[in-house]
């Protein structure tokens, strides 16, 4: 939860805090949380869509985890929809 507060904008903190325990108990044991934050950090700090796309490609996702990370990035990042559209 703390890492999310370092990277996400404050308006996203409450929802982040709600999903962290759920994601930690799922099939991926929270792996997607860090993956999402890595991408959001790139995008929130002025990184390019190419940089963010390279990050998700280097994360070695299955189809299901890729979709989950994309959904989370859309939810937690202002540029998330733009990124997912570009990455797909």
Q: How does pLDDT run across 51-76, given as a tens digit for each residue?
A: 999 999 999 888 889 999 999 999 99
DSSP track, the chain: -HHHHHHS-GGGHHHHHHHHHHHHTSTTTTHHHHHHHHHHHHHHTT--HHHHHHHHHHT---HHHHHHHHHHHHHH-TTHHHHHHHH-
pLDDT at site 30:
87
**13 pLDDT tier (thresholds 50, 70, 90):** very high
Q: Is the pLDDT of residue 29 over 90?
A: no
Range of the domain at 83: 2-87
Number of domains in the chain: 1
pTM of the entire structure?
Answer: 0.93
Q: Is the pLDDT of residue 28 over 90?
A: no
Q: What is the mean pLDDT of the chain?
A: 94
């Amino acid at each position: 939860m703390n890492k999310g507060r370092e990277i996400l904008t404050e308006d996203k903190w409450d929802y982040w805090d709600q999903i962290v325990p759920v994601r930690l108990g799922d099939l991926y044991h929270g792996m997607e949380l860090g993956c999402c934050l890595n991408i959001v950090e790139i995008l929130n700090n002025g990184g390019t869509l190419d940089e963010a796309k390279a990050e998700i490609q280097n994360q070695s996702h299955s189809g299901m985890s890729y979709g989950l990370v994309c959904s989370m990035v859309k939810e937690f990042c202002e540029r998330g929809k733009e990124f997912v559209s570009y990455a797909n």
